Amino acid sequence: MAKPSFEQDSQPKEQRAMAVSVLPVEPPLTPTLKELKSDESEHIDIGEIMEELAFADGKTSVATKPIRLQNRNQLNDLTGKEWIQETNSVWFQKGLGKNHVHAKIEQQHPAPFSFQDIGRLICFFTKQGNKVLDPFCGVASTLKACAVTAREGIGIELISKWAELGQQRLREEVPITLSALPQQIIVGDARVELTKLKSESFDYVVTSPPYWQILAKKPDHKAKRERLSYGYATKYSDSELDLGNITDYQTFLHELGICFKECYRLLRKGKYASIIVSDFRHNSTYQTFHIDVIRIMESHGFKLKGITVLVQNSKSLYPYGYPYAYVPNIHHQYILNFEKPTGEKKGKNDSAKAD
Ligand X SMILES: C[S@@+](CC[C@H](N)C(=O)[O-])C[C@H]1O[C@@H](n2cnc3c(N)ncnc32)[C@H](O)[C@@H]1O
Binding residues (CB under 6 A) for ligand X: these are 109, 111-113, 136-139, 141, 156-159, 162, 189-191, 208-210, 236-237, 241-244
Nearer to ligand X, 83 or 202 (CB): 202
Classify the C-alpha dihedral 225-230-235-236 as positive or negative.
negative
* Helix or strand run (H / E) with residue 315: none
- Min dist CB 248 to ligand X, Å, is 15
Name the minimum Å distance from CB 192 to ligand X. 8
Cα separation values, 156 from 57, 165, 340, Å: 71, 13, 21
Q: Minimal CB distance to ligand X: which residue? A: 138
- Least Å from the CB of residue 139 to ligand X: 4
Degrees, nearest 5: CA angle 305-296-251? 155
**Residue 29 or 139: which CB sits closer to ligand X?**
139
Cβ within 8 Å of residue 106, ≥6 positions away? 112, 115, 139, 141, 169
| Rg from Cα positions in the chain | 24
Dump the DSSP string for 57-69.
TS-EEEEEEEEEE
Cis peptide before 182 (omega within 30 of 0): no
Q: Which residues of 204-224 are buried (b: 16+ CB within 10 A; e: fewer)?
A: bbbbbbbbbbbbbeeeeeebe
At closest approach, how far in Å is the CB of 190 from ligand X? 4
H-type alpha helices, the chain: 33-38, 80-86, 115-125, 141-148, 160-173, 190-193, 221-226, 249-266, 289-299
Q: Compare residues 4 and 119 and give the one whose CB is closer to ligand X.
A: 119
113 or 204, CB closer to ligand X?
113
Q: Between residues 238 and 344, which has the closer beta carbon with respect to ligand X? A: 238
What distance in Å separates the CA atoms of residue 55 and residue 218, rounded to the nearest whole number? Answer: 76
Return the number of the residue (109 or 127) whose C-beta is nearest ligand X. Answer: 109
Q: How far is the CB of 77 from ligand X (least distance, A)?
A: 24
Q: What angle do CA 88, 29, 78 make, to 5 degrees?
A: 60
C-beta of residue 141 within 8 angstroms of C-beta of residue 118: yes
Closer to ligand X by Cβ: residue 127 or 235: 235
CB of 267 to ligand X, least distance (A): 18
Indicate the residue among 46 and 145 with the shorter CB distance to ligand X. Answer: 145
